[in-house]
A and B are shown apart, each in its own frame.
Chain A
Amino acid sequence: MKFTLSWLKDHLDTNASLTELEAKLSAIGLEVEGIDDPAEKLGAFKVARIVDARRHPDADKLQIVMVEIDKGAPPVEVVCGAPNARTGLVGVFAPLGTYIPGSDITLVKKPVRGVVSNGMMCSAAELELSDESAGIIELPEDMAARVGEAYIDAAGLNDPVIDVSLTPNRPDCTGVRGIARDLAAAGLGTLKPEPTLGAVEGDFDCPVDVKLEFSADTADACPAFAARYVRGVKNGPSPEWMQQRLRAVGLRPINALVDVTNYISQDRGRPLHVYDADKLNGAIVARLGKAGEKFLGLDGKEYAVDDTMCVIADANGPLGFGGIMGGEDSGSTEATVNVLIESAYFDPGRTAATGRKTGLVTDARYRFERGVDPASVLPGLDLATDMILKLTGGKPSKHRMAGTPPVEQRVIAFDYARVAKLSGIDVSDAEITRILEALGCTIAQGGKGKPAQVTVPTWRPDIHGAADLVEEVVRIAGLDRVPSTPLPRPESIAKPVLTERQKRARRARRALAARGLTEAITWSFLPEDDAKLFGGGDAALHLANPISVEMSVMRPGLLPGLISALGRNQNRGVHDVALFELGQAYRGDAEGDQYLSASGVRSGTAKAAGGGRNWDGAAKAVDVFDAKSDVFALLASLNVDPTKAQVTRDAPDWYHPGRSGTLRLGPKTVLAHFGELHPATLKALDVDGPVAAFEVFIDALPAQKAKGRTKPRLEMNDLQAVRRDFAFVLDKDVAAGDVVRAAVGADKALIQDVSVFDVFEGGALEKEGKKSIGIEVVLQPTSETLTDKDIEAVSQKITAAVKKATGGEIRS
Chain B
Amino acid sequence: MSSTATGSDLKSLETELLAGIAAAGDLPAIEQVRVGVLGKKGRIAELMQTLGKLPPEERKTFGQTVNELKGRVTDALEARKAVLEEAALAQRLANERTDVTLPVRLGPVAEGRIHPVSQVYDECIEIFADLGFSVAEGPDIESDDLNFTKLNIPAEHPARQEHDTFYFQPKEDGSRLLLRTHTSPVQIRTMLGQKPPIRIVAPGRVYRCDSDQTHTPMFHQIEGLVIDETTHMGHLKWVLEEFCKAFFEVDEVKMRFRASHFPFTEPSMEVDVGAEAIGKPGQWLEILGCGMVHPNVIRNCGLDPEKYQGFAFGVGLDRLTMLKYGIPDLRAFFSGDLRWLRHYGFSVLDVPTLSGGISG
Indicate which residue in B130, B157, B207, B218 contacts A494 across the interface (CB closer than 8 Å): B130
Provide the A562-585 mask, 1 if CB < 8 A to any CB of B, else 0: 101110110010100111001110
Cβ < 8 Å to B, chain A residues 485-529:
485-487, 489-490, 494-499, 502, 506, 509-510, 512-525
Interface 1/0s, chain B 301-335, versus A by CB < 8 A? 00001000100000000000000000000000111
A143 to chain B, nearest CB (A): 43
Q: With A544-B167, A544-B169, A609-B108 given, is the CB distance from A29 to B335 under 8 Å?
A: no
Q: Which chain A positions have C-beta within 8 A of B122?
A: 506
Do A484 and B237 touch (CB < 8 A)? yes
CB pair B341–A519 under 8 Å, yes or no, is yes
Give Cα A499–Cα B113 distance, bound, in whole angstroms.
Answer: 24
Nearest B-chain residue to A30, judged by Cβ: B259
B209 surroundings in chain A (CB, below 8 A): 545-547
Measured in the bound complex, the distance between the Cα atoms of B334 and A562 in whole Å is: 11
Q: A482-B237, A487-B231 are in contact. Are A574 and B338 (CB under 8 A)?
A: yes
How many B residues touch the partner, as a band? Answer: 35 or more
Instruction: Check A497 against B133 for contact (C-beta < 8 Å).
Output: yes
Say whether B169 contacts A561, CB under 8 Å.
Answer: no
> Which of B114, B139, B155, B233 contacts A482, CB < 8 Å?
B233
Residues in A whose Cβ lies below 8 Å from that of B131: 487, 489, 494
Which residue in B177, B207, B351 is a CB contact (below 8 Å) of A510? B351
Q: Are B168 and A467 in contact (CB under 8 A)?
A: no
Return the chain A residue nearest B291 by Cβ.
A471
> Is the CB–CB distance between A502 and B135 below 8 Å?
yes
A2–chain B nearest beta-carbon distance, Å: 18
Interface residues of B in 225-273 (CB under 8 A from A): 226, 230-235, 237-239, 241, 256-261, 263, 266-270
What distance in Å separates the Cβ of A322 from its nearest Cβ neighbour in chain B?
A: 15
Across the interface, B338 reaches (CB within 8 A) one of A487, A512, A518, A561, namely: A518
The answer to whether B234 touches A349 (Cβ under 8 A) is no
A594 CB–B CB distance under 8 Å: yes
Which residues of B lie under 8 Å from residue A525 when comparing CB positions? 217-218
Nearest-CB distance from B271 to chain A (Å)? 10
Interface assignment of A69: CB less than 8 Å from any CB of chain B: no
> Contacts A352-B158, A483-B234, A485-B237 hold; do A471 and B140 have CB atoms under 8 A apart?
no
Contacts of B82 in A (CB 8 A): none
Q: Which residues of A contact B117 (CB under 8 A)?
A: 521
CB distance from B260 to the nearest CB of A (A): 6
Q: Beyond A496-B129, A497-B133, A540-B169, is A423–B234 a contact (Cβ under 8 Å)?
A: yes
B-side contacts of A514, CB under 8 Å: 108-109, 112, 348
Query: Would you give the shortest CB distance from A430 to chain B, in whole angstroms?
Result: 21
Interface size class, chain A: 35 or more
Q: Which residues of B contact A108 (CB under 8 A)?
A: none
A541 contacts the other chain (Cβ, under 8 Å)? yes
Instruction: List, in ascending order, chain B residues with CB within 8 A of A578's CB.
Output: 111-112
Within 8 A of A (CB), among B104-124: 105, 107-109, 111-115, 117-118, 122
**Which of A28, A352, A498 meets B259, CB within 8 Å?**
A28
Interface of B is mostly: mixed
Distance of A325 Cα from B154 Cα, bound (Å): 24
- A516: contacting residue among B112, B137, B239, CB under 8 A: B112
Contact, CB under 8 Å: B102 / A615: yes
Residues of B within 8 A of A497 (CB): 125, 129, 132-135
B3: chain A residues within 8 A (beta carbon): none
Bound Cα distance A410, B338 (Å): 60
When the two chains form their complex, are residues B261 and A168 in contact, meaning their CB atoms are under 8 A apart? yes
Query: Contact check: which of A352, A487, A565, A614 meets B226 at CB < 8 Å?
Result: A487
Q: A352-B158, A474-B267, A483-B234 are in contact. Are A569 and B336 (CB under 8 A)?
A: yes
Q: Is the CB of B241 within 8 A of A352?
A: no
The yes or no answer to B61 lying at the interface (CB within 8 A) is no
Interface centre among B122, B241, B261, B351 (most CB of A within 10 A): B261
Q: Tell me the smallest distance from the CB of B186 to a CB of chain A, in Å.
A: 12
Q: Mark B267-308, 1 if CB is under 8 A from A, else 0.
A: 111100000000000000000000010110000000001000
Tell me the complex Cα distance, A420–B292, Å: 13
Q: Verify if B213 is at the interface (C-beta below 8 Å from A).
A: no
Taking Cβ atoms with an 8 Å cutoff, the residues of A that contact B are 26-29, 31, 167-170, 348-350, 352-353, 356, 369-370, 420-425, 462, 465-468, 470-471, 474-475, 479-480, 482-487, 489-490, 494-499, 502, 506, 509-510, 512-525, 539-547, 551, 554, 561-562, 564-566, 568-569, 572, 574, 577-579, 582-584, 586, 589, 591, 593-594, 608-610, 614-615
Give 4 closest A-B pairs by Cβ, nearest first: A565-B336, A424-B234, A29-B259, A516-B108
What are 12 of the A-B contact pairs (CB < 8 Å)? A168-B157, A349-B156, A369-B156, A422-B233, A424-B234, A466-B295, A471-B266, A483-B237, A497-B125, A547-B166, A569-B338, A579-B338
Other 6 A-B pairs with CB < 8 A, given A27-B259, A494-B131, A513-B348 = A467-B295, A475-B267, A514-B112, A518-B341, A521-B333, A577-B338
